[in-house]
Structure 1
């Protein structure tokens, strides 16, 4: 079996509105509805609607031979319902074809796996329920943690929840001489299979496609298929994982990214012996060659492929620690607005905006951030968190019923 596994991450955070020190205790609504709606509608026109239509065409054209997978965050599902029901409907139609797999993740695209097993499990269950509600009872079998963050212990937690596979980054410092083009198993629970992103081929599409200084520019389907054919025959699975906004947002339509994707399946079918599979098909059909040992968490972000995009500097660590200090108190409060805000404040993007890296990775962080500086992001978030702390302190805990 020589197969390609295409997986797309679909996520948008609820961005905070400008929130001043003087708003603390006075204004309890934190979300920039105008900005969030504008971002979703712009991305819908540039990416989601045209790319969903293109995938539907490919699914019909190749009659069961072309398949992809999505992980759609809960914050994105909420915003689709509010601002883009046409986009939600187009995703529902894709899933209804049976050629599109949905993955589970934490509902609010959070970093809870690094801090609280209880909170992590709760957010995964909430995402399960939401997927089932919106996609006609669909139940995912494979997991994708926020930002592909993975470690041996995180994998073991996911295995406990009943998943048979998990996606993560094929990080060089973890693989060493090994190839990402095999299926591996979790080192603590070998029942959980681990699919590793081929970051070179994935990033050729996601990041380098329109880079005219790249030695291999322009990227054509023939060139890409030649690279696939050069992979040793015993390496069976090529995992191409990327943000869905690659198409039309990060790589604009005039770069030719849509046409590249439209013609890629035909080139693969005609000039290689590769097929297309979903993650669950790979997990079911391809045996693991051995354990993959990841004692320290990895991710798919930045050159280091570690956690420093979200955690590690003083700003990020302060915000992260202050947030989760409230976990036990929040769990005892029934107020739905407090529960909503608690979830949305956990979204990884808030901490990403506080990253103080410079050079090439810093420019990527700046591209995604609505703030002028990481310090502005931190101040705004901490102002909001200060007000949220007051609300939590003042809220009456839910009374436990007597047995």
Structure 2
């Protein structure tokens, strides 16, 4: 039986407040609480609450035959607890149905897998414990790294932590002639099964749904069903991975995106031979067709599907290097505020805002950034990091003096 695997990324960063050079050494609180609360509440009303309610109705209507999965970043869960407990409760109700899977990721939605195995493991375990605390002891079995970043080595680290499956991008330059619609396995440790995003069908919903210049506009469930039926019969799983904010935030309610999603299961059940499954069900039920060879990290960002969205210029690389130079010192400091800021400063969005790409990818980066320019993002972050370094050095000296 062929299946559709829906995965949604749920993430909102903690945005840094405007932080001037003259604040260094004086102001040790970096976070824009007003902006962060306002954005969470706005997205809650446009996306999280109405979409969660819709999915709950769909799961109940189809008696559990309709299933989805989420990866909710730890930094987003922290904001739900502070600013949107109603949203957290709505996710808890979804998970309680038994037909919604939660995935593990890095707690702060960080790039730690690229910098430090030790910090990566700490971040993953912190997120695992947060999921367990907030979702009645739930323990994820499948991993999704920040922005689907994956390589053979990262997969090996994930397998060593006991996960049975991992999600990543079905990048053309990795797959070549092969299809993303199969289960694969890690090139180093075959115990880790790999699910690949079908970016064509995923992006038809996530990016092209409301694009009136798209040749296939408007997207209807009937049209989508024809595309599903065109998938060769031997191909087992169509993995539809996307930002959850697709619904109501990136694609406004006026586009009909909610109606499309509501009608989709009925079309799938009546007009195709597909079912719906969660990632773990696909991992357990599907036999890997081959190893997937990914020597250089890939992601689901931009046309290149590489790391250049976060580490593609000198600004980003300087900030990234300066941050992780602090790891050994930070780990020795028993101070909750230092540890909090250390985690939140690792969030990948801070580096994404510094991206200097132009053309189509540049437009996407500008859409997600609250800074006027990438250089403003760099200066603001480095001012904060300079203050953080002073705090870390001061704490280290205090420890050495005692």
> What TM-score do the two structures reach when normalised by structure 2?
0.99
2:109 maps to: 109
- Verify the 8 A CA contact 1:334 1:397 in the aligned structure 2: no
Gaps in structure 1 of 5+ consecutive residues = none
Query: Which position in structure 2 is the counterpart of 1:347?
Result: 347
Following superposition of structure 1 onto structure 2, how do residues 3-402 of structure 1 map, counting pairs within 5 Å? Answer: 3-396=3-396
SS in 1 for 2:4: strand
Map Cα deviations across residues 20-44 of structure 1 (whole Å, 9 max, x no partner). 0000000000000000000000000
Q: Distance in 2 between matches of 1:398 and 1:226?
A: 67
Query: Post-superposition shift, 1:312?
Result: 2.0
Aligned residues: 400
Give the superposition deviation at 1:64: 1.4
1:398: how far off? 9.4
CA displacement at 1:388 relative to structure 2:
0.2
What is the RMSD computed on CA atoms of the aligned residues?
1.0
TM-score normalised to structure 1 length: 0.98
Quote the Cα distance in structure 2 between the aligned partners of 1:201 and 1:44.
26
**Aligned partners of 2:397, 2:289: CA distance in 1, in Å?**
50
Q: What is the DSSP-based 3-state SS (H/G/I as helix, E as strand, rest coil) of the residue aligned with 1:173?
A: helix
Residue aligned with 2:101, SS:
strand
Runs (4+) of structure 1 moved beyond 3 Å?
396-400
Question: Which secondary structure state, in structure 1, belongs to the residue aligned with residue 308 of structure 2?
Answer: coil
Does the 8 Å CA contact 2:104/2:128 hold for their aligned counterparts? Answer: yes
Please give the alpha-carbon distance, in whole angstroms, between the structure 1 residues aligned to 2:397 and 2:304. Answer: 42
**3-state SS in 1 of match to 2:309:** coil
List per-residue Cα deviations over 1:269-301 (Å, max 9, x = no partner): 000010000000000000000100000000000
SS in structure 1 of the partner of residue 304 of structure 2: coil
Are the equivalent residues in 1 in contact too, given 2:329–2:396 (CA < 8 A)?
Answer: no
Matched-pair contact (CA < 8 Å) for 2:46–2:249: yes
Deviations 1:115-166 (A, max 9, x none): 1000000000000000000000000000000000000000000000000000
Alpha-carbon distance in 1 for matches of 2:331, 2:191 = 32
1:48-77 per-position Cα deviation (integer Å, ceiling 9, x unaligned):
000000000000000010000000000000
Deviations 1:224-262 (A, max 9, x none): 010000000000100000000000000000000000000
Following superposition, the deviation at residue 396 of structure 1 comes to: 4.0
Q: Closer, same or farther in 2 for the Cα pair 1:340/1:55, shift >3 Å?
A: same
Q: Whole-Å Cα distance in 1 between the matches of residues 362 and 304 of structure 2? A: 13
* CA distance in structure 1 between the partners assigned to 2:205 and 2:163 by the alignment: 29
User: Where does structure 2 lack aligned partners over 5 or more consecutive residues?
Assistant: none
* 1-structure distance, mates of 2:313, 2:242: 26
Does the CA-based 8 Å contact 1:333-1:397 persist in structure 2? no
